[in-house]
Every structure is written in C-alpha cells, then in structure tokens.
Amino acid sequence: MAENHTTATDKTVPYSTGDSKITDATIAEMREIAARYPVARSALLPMLHLVQSVEGRVTPEGIEACADVLDLTGAEVSAVATFYTMYKRRPVGDYHVGVCTNTLCAVMGGDLIFDRLKQHLDVGNDETTEDGKITLEHLECNAACDYAPVMMVNWEFFDDMTPESATQLVDDLRDGTEVKSPRGATICTWREAERVLAGYPDGRADEGPTGGKATLAGLRLARERGWTAPGGSSNAETPKED
Amino acid sequence: MADTLTPVLSDNWDQIRSWQLSSYQRSGGYDALRKALAMQPADVVATVKDSGLRGRGGAGFPTGMKWQFIPQDNPNPKYLVVNADESEPGTCKDIPLMMASPHTLVEGVIIASYAIRASAAFIYVRGEVLHVIRRLQQAVQEAKDAGLIGTNILGSGYDLDVVVHAGAGAYICGEETALLDSLEGRRGQPRLRPPFPAVAGLYGCPTVINNVESIASVPAIIKNGADWFSSMGTEKSKGMTLYSLSGHVTRPGQYEAPLGITLRELLDLAGGVREGHELKFWTPGGSSTPLLTAEHLDVPLDYEGVGSVGSMLGTKALQIFDESVCVVRAVLRWTEFYKHESCGKCTPCREGTWWLVQILERLEKGQGSDEDLDVLLDLSENILGRSFCALGDGATAPITSSIAHFKDEYLAHFENGGCPFDPMASTVFATAGASA
Ligand SMILES: Cc1cc2nc3c(=O)[nH]c(=O)nc-3n(C[C@H](O)[C@H](O)[C@H](O)COP(=O)(O)O)c2cc1C
Ligand code: SF4
Ligand code: FES
C-alpha cells in the first residue's frame, strides 16, 4: 500500500511509451476472465496480471483497456493498481528476484543476502539491471519461513539461501543457464508467470516435488515412530516420493 | 490418548505425486464428498459443529457455527470464500498444504459449499506463490473433468462453480472483509461490521469466509465423524492442527499434532534449538501474537492455554529466536512491515505505525531514551482497540510484549550507543568464528 507514505509518491509514473502490445486478442482474454465471475469487476486483479504479462508492467494503455472492458474510469482502475505491490509501474526484468527481509528471514541471513545482491547486481531495491534481466526487490514474509532465508524468482521458492547461493542464482539467470526451483518448476520469465496468475495455466503443475524437507519433517518423524491419528493411516505403508 | 503427532492433513504428503487427483483418490480422497452428498446439508453443518473445529486462520471462531449463521431464507446466492492469502509473518502452513495436496482443500470446498448451499466458491490465494497457484488450478480442473465440480455433482443434483483467484500482494487482504473488497476488484480495505459477511458478504450476498486449514479439515471430519475429531485435542480446542516451526531450530518444518502440545515437546521432536544456543523469544502464532519466552515452554498450545499467558494461538506459527537475535531489531522489522501494509483507512494505524517506526529506528541506533519507551507504550495503547481492524492491534503486539520481557535490552542500546549484537551471529551461515 505503497501510496501511504514515501514509497510510491516519490516515483514518477512513466506515461505511455507508445509501444503498447495490448491487442484485440488481449481484450478478448480480458472478457474471458470477466466471464468467470458473477460480477465482472471481480476480474480486475487477474486482468491487471494479464496486462503485466503482455506489457511487462502496468501501462496507461493496459489501464484503459481494463477500464473499457469493465465499464470503469481509468482513475478507478489506477486506484486499484497502485494499491497492490505486485503491480509495477516501471518495466520489470525477465526475472523478478525477491529476497525476504521480514524479521525471521532477515535475522537468518536475508538482510546480508539482500545487501550482497545489491552490490553484486549494482542496483537498489526495486531496480532493474542495465541488461534488463533482473529486477531486485526485498519481500515481506512469503509463507516459507521454515526454509529461511528465502528468496523468490518470478514467485517460485528458493530455500535455505546463502550469499554464495544467491549470487550463483542470479549469475545463472543472467547467463541463461536453466534454473529450477527446489519446490517448483523450471523458471519461466516474469511475464509468463504473470499469465498464470491471470488464470491461464502453463502446464507445469506436475514439475517439482510434493514438498521440501521442512514440509515433510513432522510426517517423516511420525512414520519413523509409527505415530498416526486415531484409526491409523491409509498411507503409511504405500510407496513414497524420495 | 492420541499419538504425539497425528498426521491427517499431512498424511498423504509423502505419496508419489500427492497433488494429483489419482494419487489423492488412492489415499481415500473424495470418499468424504460422496458421504456428504448423501447427507442433508444441515447435517453436514451439524457434524462440523459437533466436531468442535475452530477456525485455523487466527481467531479460532467455531466453523460449524459460522456456517449456521448463513440465512438460508435469504433469496440471494450464497458464496464460500477460502482465505488462502497466508501472509502473517511466520505463517507457513497453508502454502505447503496446497502445494502437496490441493485436492484436500478442493474436496473441503465442495463439502462446505454444499453444506451452506453455495452456488460458487472462490479460493483467494496470495499472488506470490506461482507453483501453488498452478497446482490449485490443475486440481480444480481435474475435479471439474471428473464431475466433482460443475452441474449435478456425482448425480446429487447439486451445482457448484469453483474459481481460483490470485491476489496481488497486500497483507491486509487476509483480513476477511478487505479480502471481499479485493475479490470484488477494489482496493483491499476492511469494511464496517455489521453487517457481517454471513448476511452481506461478497456482492452483498450471504458469504462464509474460512481459512485454508479450516476447510481442509472438513473432509476428514465427515469421513471419520465428529467424535473422532474431538477425541484429539483439549477440552475447548479440538482436533489436530499444523504447527509450523521456523528459525533457530534444528529441524524446522510442519508438525501436525493434537491441539494442546507444548513448545517444549515440539522442540524436542524438531531436534531442539540450534546447537550451542538457547531459546530467547518466540511467537506462538505469527508476529501479531505477543512474544513469549523460555518461561512459556510448557504452556499448552491451544486457544485457552496461550490466551492465559497474555498471547494468542493465532496461526500456530512458532518462530524461534535464540540468544543471538536482538529483540529491538526484530521488533523494528515487524513494525516496518505493519507500517508498509497499513491500508491507510484509519488514522490510529496509518499514522501510529509511522510514528512507531520512527521511534524504534532511533532506539535501535542507540539514540533514544527511557522516555521513548513510554511514548512507544502510549502510542501502542492508542492504536490497540482504536483501529478499524485487527492489523492495527497486531502491530502493537511485538512492541508491548518485547518491552515487557526485554526492557533491559532496549536500555542496553542507549548505554551502548547502538545495537550490541553482531548481525552475522544469528544467520544460518554464521561460522563459530564469525559469531564471536
Ligand atoms: C491483517 C489481517 C490479516 C489476516 N490474514 C489472514 C490470512 O492470510 N489467512 C487467513 O485465513 N486469515 C487471515 N486473517 C483472519 C481473517 O480475517 C479471518 O478471521 C479468517 O480468514 C477466518 O477463517 P477461519 O474462521 O477459518 O479461521 C487475517 C486477519 C487480519 C486482521
Ligand atoms: S487498522 Fe490499519 S489496516 Fe486496518 S483499517 Fe485501519 S489503517 Fe487499515
Ligand atoms: S519470514 Fe521470510 S518467508 Fe516468512
């Protein structure tokens, strides 16, 4: 809710650059999203994710398109777009790299990782490298604290990070080396990820494991000790994921 | 007496491709739905009520009672909204659940919707978890293809649509009325209550909003019965639940146990506080629940037990901090979070969190004074209970509790002219030498 205090008001909003990629096909998809809901306006958040997947940010043309489809004013759409931190007014790189610096991750090493990455990439918070590849941002708790310190690339988990593994990760991303999330899929681009958030699946749900070590910590212990809920377990004896 | 750990929600998480329909069905998935559809909706509500299930999103409100509040004579459509926004600092249970077994949630959604006679259900999931969203989307699609969602579900005559809806980054959207505004395509700001969502929720229609874990608990209750569920837990806090251990603990992670287990027992299962260190402070249920210390290791982790020592069970997010962590640094960081996430609707929270950060920053740098502590407490008193929603209240929890337990540490910052702690010492990559 960046607009409260200093964060958003001191940033200029880029106006149209005249190269919007919103097409009739985009508008048709917006209408498709709107049709999922009993009341069309509910589609606004996914539609803005769609705008980002097409434009690489929330553009004035994207805002106007949402407004047209939902019969709202541009100002109404803008007021919503500026409220949410995932919507970006400035172009985002191919890879959005987040470092959790909420308290738990911060003390476990997130602060040092974030400092190291700023130096290594020569960018500040919410800035993009010159080659347009990486946008670095510090994040609030991403619901993965049992894997602290946590990083996210295009909203995929990277667990138990160190300054060394973090710099290696961003180097790999910049070099175009294939990168996989330890609890997710092969990393796609930020725009492709935004399209999934708009509600268009990319067929990668079956990649990756059921969970990591921490997810399974209690269950593994229960299996070892033969502990179950009353009535037993229907899964204790069957083949397991490795 | 139940076993120490009682995997129910997590029981299939080690199965091959546990997120797929076929795997879930091999573990007995969707048997509960068949059973529920053969019951009267009101009997499903009664079973959940009798089980004693209380909301797992933080407040612990009885789930069956919430369902009963839906006015069935209201002519408007009814809706179920699942709160999958999981953003309370420290909280990390719903996300791994949906990653490993999205069908547990989807089955719960269908049963709960049937019970309240909802025509549509929405799963509002925070946007920052791409792979979880993929698995939810796929699970809903698989369920549709199998006739478990749609028209005339399994020949019962019941129709339901389910939509997975990705948020866009805002902690406040976890607050249930802000979530409704967000789901209606607006800025996520809380609504005045009454009217309560049960009467006028989504689009002004009767709406139930429940946490992921609450809804995911429903299939097991229907399948095994209310008595089975209430045979676990304590007198007023029934059933099993996911406890999430994070921070300075040997084996962090998800531990599913009956309500009422203690932190001492959980730490024992998780290999203790990281080697060579000792427990300093912890949160029982996220950063909005007042901090506890080693003094509270034997408090039963149920709604009443944690309440009796002046905190709250919250989301059972047990964040463990050892003696290497500066409590002032920890509290400042949480306070910055509340300031950033304040939606700006009401003055005590919008302005108050801003002032709290200013003062804490000064304190951390060793530039404060005793009086600043009084100002912090005074400000907290003015925010607590005077804010429009519970975010403001939560913002004061780390401050007041840390001053109560660790006043000397604040004072040490003034005496020292800055923070006496080495930030490297608390990290996972600290070597013995570096932490000196
Ligand atoms: C600031 C704030 C954030 C919240 N975030 C969440 C959340 O992420 N998930 C959740 O289930 N409940 C959250 N809650 C609690 C919800 O308002 C609501 O009580 C809960 O979803 C009800 O579900 P339950 O009865 O099943 O627990 C939050 C509350 C507040 C005040
Ligand atoms: S307490 Fe904070 S988050 Fe809640 S309504 Fe007021 S300003 Fe918004
Ligand atoms: S504090 Fe970093 S993921 Fe929770």
The CATH number that applies at residue B209 is 3.40.50.11540
pLDDT at B175: 98
Q: Cβ separation of B7 and A222 shorter than 8 Å?
A: yes
Q: What is the CATH number of the domain that holds B334?
A: 1.20.1440.230
Within-domain flag for B1 = no
pLDDT at B185: 98
Nearest CA to ligand 1 atom 29: B175
The distance of Cα B220 from the centroid of its chain, to the nearest Å, equals: 20
For B184, which residue in chain A has the nearest alpha carbon?
A42
Burial of A236 (0-12, 13-18, 19+ CB in 10 A): middle
Q: What is the pLDDT of residues B211-243, one digit of tens each?
A: 999 999 999 999 999 999 999 999 999 999 999
On the question of pLDDT at A31 being above 90, the answer is yes
Q: Does A193 contact chain B (CB < 8 Å)?
A: yes
Within-domain flag for B431 = no
pLDDT, one tens digit for every residue, chain B (436 residues)? 789 999 999 999 999 999 999 999 999 999 999 999 999 999 999 999 999 999 999 999 999 999 999 999 999 999 999 999 999 999 999 999 999 999 999 999 999 999 999 999 999 999 999 999 999 999 999 999 999 999 999 999 999 999 999 999 999 999 999 999 999 999 999 999 999 999 999 999 999 999 999 999 999 999 999 999 999 999 999 999 999 999 999 999 999 999 999 999 999 999 999 999 999 999 999 999 999 999 999 999 999 999 999 999 999 999 999 999 999 999 999 999 999 999 999 999 999 999 999 999 999 999 988 899 999 999 999 999 999 999 999 999 999 999 999 999 999 999 999 999 999 999 999 864 444 3
Do residue B407 and residue B292 come from a single domain?
Answer: no
Distance B83 CA to ligand 1 centre (A): 7
CA angle B248, B249, B251 (to 5 degrees): 140
pLDDT at B230: 98
**With bands split at pLDDT 50, 70 and 90, how would you rate the model's confidence at A234?**
confident
Residue ranges of the alpha helices (H) in B196-245?
Answer: 212-216, 218-224, 226-230
Domain boundary among B231, B256, B291: B231
Nearest CA to A157 among B123, B172, B135, B205?
Answer: B135
Q: Cβ separation of A205 and B165 shorter than 8 Å?
A: no
For B323, which residue in chain A has the nearest alpha carbon?
A107
Q: Which two tokens stand for residue B88?
A: 């309370």
Smallest Cβ distance to B131: which of A80, A185, A240?
Answer: A185
DSSP A132-149: S-EEEEEE---S-GGG-S
Domain boundary among B322, B351, B371: B322
Per-residue DSSP letter, A88? -
Beta carbons of B330 and B321 less than 8 angstroms apart: yes
Q: What is the pLDDT of residues A147-184, one digit of tens each?
A: 999 999 999 999 999 999 999 999 999 999 999 999 99
CB contact set of B90 (below 8 Å; sequence gap of 6+):
A104, A141, A145, B244, B246, B283, B285, B286, B287, B315, B317, B318, B319
Q: What is the pLDDT of residues A113-147, one digit of tens each?
A: 999 999 999 999 999 999 999 999 999 999 999 99
Beta carbons of A63 and A75 less than 8 angstroms apart: no
- Give me the amino acid identity at A187: I
Do residue B217 and residue B303 come from a single domain?
Answer: no
Give strand ranges (E) for chain A.
95-100, 127-128, 134-139, 151-153, 156-158
Do residue B108 and residue B66 come from a single domain?
Answer: yes
Within-domain flag for B7 = no
Do residue B159 and residue B281 come from a single domain?
Answer: no
pLDDT at B368: 87
Do residue B25 and residue B166 come from a single domain?
Answer: yes
Question: Which residue of B134, B179, B339 is the best one to mutate when testing the A interface, meaning the one whose CB has the most A CBs within 10 A?
Answer: B134
Within-domain flag for B152 = yes
Q: How many angstroms separate the CA of residue A229 from the nearest CA in chain B? A: 4
Do residue B337 and residue B398 come from a single domain?
Answer: yes
Within-domain flag for B9 = no
Question: Which residue of B1, B8, B13 is the best one to mutate when testing the A interface, meaning the one whose CB has the most A CBs within 10 A?
Answer: B13
Domain boundary among B296, B322, B348: B322
Which residues span the domain enclosing B416? 327-424
Do residue B183 and residue B251 come from a single domain?
Answer: no
Do residue B316 and residue B331 come from a single domain?
Answer: no
Within-domain flag for B120 = yes
Q: What is the CATH number of the domain that holds B275?
A: 3.10.20.600
**With bands split at pLDDT 50, 70 and 90, how would you rate the model's confidence at A11?**
very low
**With bands split at pLDDT 50, 70 and 90, how would you rate the model's confidence at A242?**
low
Within-domain flag for B436 = no
**With bands split at pLDDT 50, 70 and 90, how would you rate the model's confidence at A15?**
low
pTM of the model as a whole:
0.96
pLDDT at B436: 35
pLDDT at B433: 44
Within-domain flag for B435 = no
Do residue B38 and residue B125 come from a single domain?
Answer: yes
Do residue B346 and residue B419 come from a single domain?
Answer: yes
Nearest CA to B33 among B137, B97, B112, B146?
Answer: B112
Do residue B420 and residue B302 come from a single domain?
Answer: no
Do residue B411 and residue B336 come from a single domain?
Answer: yes
For residue A184, the chain B residues in CB contact (below 8 A) are 130-131
Strand partners, A157: A152
Give the whole-number percent of chain A exceeding pLDDT 70: 93
CB contact set of A200 (below 8 Å; sequence gap of 6+):
A29, A50
Indicate the number of domains in chain B: 3
Give the whole-number percent of chain A exceeding pLDDT 90: 88
